[in-house]
């Protein structure tokens, strides 16, 4: 087992837990940790000292710099690709070619599993420290209803008529995390076992073991699209939009299906700029290229390199519109 552990660690085939508990943001990515992931794609990168993927940028912004922060879920964090292929890097390079006298910094603060309430908490606790010119929420319909899926992440909640960011300080939960991390942060085998146990809580074991040979259960577990009527009942989402700074916050629908009508209406009432990636992605599909299909692994999942390229050019176009208005 020791030999296997050393092989997994030093060959990069296996990975240890990328998470740590912090007093300011709760469970977050580990500082200065290099990672290598095999999924539908192949990603190599590093979490920097500020706990996000990509080049480290100081809190203080230099002159002639346009700084943009991206908030979103796994489509933004993007473990599936090399950083040079990430849509934020593509957008940055295109903008700096266009504006020789400006510097662009696009910080990727996306986190897998985030919904709009998680993004808002990250905005208040981390993103605003960087004094960005714009904060982009890159989300889909499924991200509009707070799930509170991780008890150790900060929660955006309504207290009376006011939004509050609350971090669970339950010492038992924190102590449990700290005990477990001693093993999963240093052992790839134990980390894989831990991830496997977590997966069995949401996915039937036969489906995990048999994969495509277990289609009936897979079909049962496909996500059901929530109606806009159900989403509209969520007061936290409404309050988040009402608290947006319309001069700095930008909403982008990352998916092809549109967001609910009520959501666009709330954005328009507040005067928040909103854009779509779906138009560009749909054109790609119509040309016969699937932005979510990975030929190397024969899997569908997050955006592939072509998807990132198209989305990156669209992001550059959006930023160009914003700074010229």
Domains and CATH numbers, the chain: 2-57+67-211+230-324 (3.40.50.1110)
- As beta bridge partners, residue 72 has 138
Q: What is the pLDDT of residue 23?
A: 93
What pTM did the predictor assign?
0.89
Token pair, residue 165, equals 């960011």
User: What is d(CA 95, CA 13) in angstroms, rounded to the nearest whole number?
Assistant: 36
User: What is d(CA 221, CA 223) in angstroms, rounded to the nearest whole number?
Assistant: 6
- As beta bridge partners, residue 250 has 136, 273
Q: What is the pLDDT of residue 14?
A: 75
Nearest residue to 55 (alpha-carbon basis) of 99, 95, 98, 92: 92
Q: What is the pLDDT of residue 225?
A: 42
Neighbours of 43 (CB within 10 A): 20
User: What is d(CA 76, CA 306) in angstroms, rounded to the nearest whole number?
Assistant: 15
Q: What is the pLDDT of residue 195?
A: 77
**299 burial via Cβ count (<10 Å: 0-12, 13-18, 19+):** middle
Q: What is the pLDDT of residue 232?
A: 58
Q: What is the pLDDT of residue 203?
A: 74
Q: What is the pLDDT of residue 233?
A: 67
pLDDT of the chain, 325 residues: tens digit per residue: 888 888 887 776 778 999 999 999 999 999 999 988 888 998 888 999 999 999 999 899 999 999 999 999 999 999 999 999 999 999 999 999 999 999 999 999 999 999 999 999 999 999 999 999 999 999 999 999 999 989 999 999 999 989 999 998 888 999 999 999 989 998 888 888 887 887 777 777 777 677 666 665 444 444 434 444 545 568 999 999 999 999 999 999 999 999 999 999 999 999 999 999 999 999 999 999 999 999 989 999 999 999 999 999 999 999 999 999 8
Report strand pairing: 33-38 vs 299-300: unpaired
- As beta bridge partners, residue 137 has 71, 251
Neighbours of 15 (CB within 10 A): 19
Q: What is the pLDDT of residue 223?
A: 42
User: What is d(CA 284, CA 279) in angstroms, rounded to the nearest whole number?
Assistant: 9
Q: What is the pLDDT of residue 15?
A: 83
Would residue 114 be called left, alpha or beta, if left means φ above 0 and alpha means ψ between -120 and 50 degrees? Answer: beta
H/E segment holding residue 165: strand 162-166
Q: What is the pLDDT of residue 188?
A: 86
Q: What is the pLDDT of residue 86?
A: 97
Q: What is the pLDDT of residue 214?
A: 65
Count CA within 13 A, CB hemisphere, residue 66.
19
Contacts of 207 (CB under 8 A, 6+ apart): 214, 217, 218, 221
Q: What is the pLDDT of residue 215?
A: 61
User: What is d(CA 255, CA 281) in angstroms, rounded to the nearest whole number?
Assistant: 8
Helix (H, G, I), strand (E, B) or coil at 141: helix
Token pair, residue 247, equals 């001069």
Nearest residue to 132 (alpha-carbon basis) of 324, 321, 319, 314: 319
Query: What does residue 167 show for φ and ψ, rounded to 5 degrees?
Result: -110, 125
Q: What is the pLDDT of residue 229?
A: 53
Residue 272: C-alpha distances to residues 39, 109, 226, 243 (Å): 35, 20, 24, 11
User: What is d(CA 171, CA 76) in angstroms, rounded to the nearest whole number?
Assistant: 31
Cα four-point dihedral sign 235, 239, 241, 242: positive
Residue written as token pair 């016969």? 288
User: What is d(CA 170, CA 279) in angstroms, rounded to the nearest whole number?
Assistant: 45
Residue 152: C-alpha distances to residues 2, 27, 86, 141 (Å): 31, 5, 28, 24
């Amino acid at each position: 087992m020791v030999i296997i552990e050393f092989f997994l660690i030093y060959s990069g085939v296996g990975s240890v837990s990328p998470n740590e508990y912090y007093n300011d943001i709760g469970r977050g990515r580990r500082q200065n940790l290099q990672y290598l992931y095999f999924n539908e794609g192949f990603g190599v990168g590093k979490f920097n000292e500020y706990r996000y993927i990509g080049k480290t940028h100081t809190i203080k912004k230099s002159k002639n710099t346009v700084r943009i922060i991206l908030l979103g879920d796994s489509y933004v964090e993007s473990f599936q690709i090399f950083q040079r292929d990430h849509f934020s890097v593509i957008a940055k390079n295109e903008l700096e070619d266009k504006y020789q006298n400006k510097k662009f910094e696009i910080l990727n603060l996306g986190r897998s599993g985030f919904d709009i309430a998680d993004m808002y908490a990250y905005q208040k606790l981390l993103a605003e420290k960087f004094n960005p010119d714009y904060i982009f929420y890159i989300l889909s319909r499924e991200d509009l209803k707070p799930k509170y899926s991780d008890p150790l992440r900060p929660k955006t909640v309504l207290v009376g008529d006011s939004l509050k960011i609350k971090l669970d300080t339950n010492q038992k939960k924190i102590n449990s995390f700290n005990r477990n991390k001693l093993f999963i942060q240093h052992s790839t085998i134990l980390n894989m076992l831990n991830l496997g146990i977590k997966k069995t809580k949401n996915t039937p074991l036969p489906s995990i073991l048999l994969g495509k040979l277990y289609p009936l259960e897979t079909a049962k577990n496909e996500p059901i699209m929530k109606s806009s009527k159900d989403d509209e009942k969520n007061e936290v989402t409404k309050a988040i939009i009402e608290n947006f700074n319309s001069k700095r916050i930008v909403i982008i629908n990352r998916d092809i299906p549109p967001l609910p009508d009520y959501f666009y209406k709330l954005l328009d009432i507040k005067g928040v700029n909103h854009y779509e990636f779906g138009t560009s992605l749909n054109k790609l599909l119509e040309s016969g290229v699937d932005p979510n299909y990975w030929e190397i692994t024969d899997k569908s999942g997050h955006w592939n390199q072509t998807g990132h390229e198209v989305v990156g050019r669209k992001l550059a176009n959006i930023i160009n519109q914003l700074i010229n208005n």
